[in-house]
Structures are given as C-alpha cells and as structure tokens.
C-alpha cells in the first residue's frame, strides 16, 4: 500500500457565486521513503494539494488517502489526530511562535499528546540538537536568522515522529547558504527513512529528490524517468 494515494482529486473554492476549480482531477501515489519535489507555476494548486494531504483542508471530490485512510471522510476530530500524529508541516513563513522559546515551540505539538513533561523536554532538546541548534534552546525564534528559524520549524515538524513531512517552499524565504543547510537536513531526514513532499520553485533544491511531480493548472504531469 502506498503511503499516499490520491485519486481523481478535485478541489474548488466558492468565491461569491462562483465555484472556482483549483485541483482538476489529480492522481498520484507516494511510497514510503520517497523524497518528492512538487513543482509548477505559482497558482497551479501546489499549496492546495499539500493542505489536503496534511489534513488542513478537505477535497471537494475524489480521494486523498494516507496509510489507506480516506482523509475526506474522516471526522474533524480524526483529521486533527492525523495532523498531529502523522504529518509534519514545514511552511515557507516558518509559523513559529515568537514569544516563547525554541524549546517550547518544539514541545508544543507534544503537549497535545499528554506525554510526560520531562520526556517532551528531552525530545525537543534532542531534535533541536539534531538540527544544529543545541546552543539556542532558550532563545526565541525572533532572535534567530531565517535559516535557523526554519531549522526550529523542522524540529517541531518531527516532534510527534510523523509518517509524512510536507514542506511548502521551505527555502522560499532563505538566502543561498541557509537554503543549502535546509536541503542538507531534508536529505538527512530522507536518508533516515522519512517520506518527504517538498514544494519548491528552485530546481537546485531538488538534487536529492527521488522524483519531481510537475503540476500545471490543477493537474499533474509526472516527469518521465
């Protein structure tokens, strides 16, 4: 069974009186252990697809399955549980909480799980060390560079040991050097067995990807291998 299976997936948004189609019948499968790049022009529906795969949005028609579970048919509660336990999201704009420490940011997803406090803290510390921020545990994200913030976000995404990492233009706001760092971390995660889907505009960031999925106008065009 593929980790992700998308079949005839459609999404449209209601804008005023109009139904505007954004995804127009997407079919794709992603196996465990893949590192997939998702590319295509701005506005073609990449983020919409990522949000559906991550349980942040729901299909209009068709199916999006994670580990065989049809995300569109889950209750809000079950979908929230999938987001928490199975998905690690990394956003272009980091989406960290500025007022609290990096450690607390990484602990947050675990607090939803009633893990003992000490275990949470140890794990958050380990994850921050793994992304090279062991010396910044008690800083807050506002005192970090963009590349460092994204490393905190990656540590946070890993907190609940997800089966799928969804990274939506994770290097979009970063300088050349930080882009490199983030891509190297992604590569390491993938070598450790993590399945990753990464939206990117930058072909240079796809060097470690096992496959590129091209999207155009709400449809998928897979690159012939």
Ligand X SMILES: Nc1ncnc2c1ncn2[C@@H]1O[C@H](COP(=O)(O)OP(=O)(O)O)[C@@H](O)[C@H]1O
Give the binding site for ligand X (CB under 6 A): 13, 15, 20, 22, 42-48
The correct pick among 40, 47, 106, 155 for binding Mg ion (CB under 5 A) is 47
3-state secondary structure the chain: CCCEEEEEEEEEEEECCEEEEEEEEEEEEECCCCEEEEECCCCCCHHHHHHHHCCCCCCCEEEEEECCEEHHHCCHHHHHHHHHHHEEEEECCCCCCCCCCHHHHHHHHHHCCCCCHHHHHHHHHHHHHHCCCHHHCCCCHHHCCHHHHHHHHHHHHCCCCCCEEEEECCCCCCCHHHHHHHHHHHHHHHHCCCEEEEECCCHHHHCCCCEEEEEECCEEEECCC
Q: How far is the CB of 12 from Mg ion (least distance, A)?
A: 17
Touching Mg ion, residues 108-137 (CB under 5 A): none
Answer with the entry of Mg ion, ligand X, none that 195 interacts with (C-beta below 5 to 8 A by kind): none
Q: How far is the CB of 146 from ligand X (least distance, A)?
A: 20
> Per CB under 5 A, does 200 bind Mg ion?
no
Answer with the entry of ligand X, Mg ion, none that 83 interacts with (C-beta below 5 to 8 A by kind): none
Q: How far is the CB of 47 from Mg ion (least distance, A)?
A: 3
Total residues contacting Mg ion by CB under 5 A comes to 2
Answer with the entry of Mg ion, ligand X, none that 44 interacts with (C-beta below 5 to 8 A by kind): ligand X
Q: How far is the CB of 1 from Mg ion (least distance, A)?
A: 28
Q: How far is the CB of 56 from ligand X (least distance, A)?
A: 11
**Residue ranges in contact with Mg ion by CB under 5 A:** 46-47
């Amino acid at each position: 069974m593929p980790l992700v299976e998308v079949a005839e997936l459609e999404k449209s948004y209601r804008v005023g009186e109009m139904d505007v189609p954004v995804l127009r019948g997407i079919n794709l499968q992603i196996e465990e252990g893949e590192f997939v790049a998702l590319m295509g022009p701005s506005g073609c529906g990449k983020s919409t697809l990522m949000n559906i795969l991550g349980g942040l949005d729901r299909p209009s028609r068709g199916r999006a399955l994670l580990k065989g579970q049809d995300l569109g048919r889950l209750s809000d509660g079950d979908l929230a549980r999938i987001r928490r336990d199975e998905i690690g999201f990394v956003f272009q704009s980091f989406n960290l909480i500025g007022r609290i420490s990096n450690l607390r940011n990484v602990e947050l997803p675990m607090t939803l799980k009633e893990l003992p406090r000490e275990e949470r803290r140890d794990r958050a510390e380990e994850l921050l060390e793994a992304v090279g921020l062991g010396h910044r545990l008690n800083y807050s994200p506002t005192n970090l560079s963009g590349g460092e913030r994204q490393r905190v976000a990656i540590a946070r995404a890993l907190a609940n040991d997800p089966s799928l990492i969804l990274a939506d233009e994770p290097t979009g706001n970063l300088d050349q050097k930080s882009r490199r760092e983030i891509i190297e971390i992604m590569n390491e995660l993938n070598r450790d067995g993590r399945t990753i889907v990464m939206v990117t505009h930058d072909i240079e960031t796809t060097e470690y990807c096992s496959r590129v999925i091209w999207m155009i106008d709400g449809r998928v065009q897979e690159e012939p291998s």
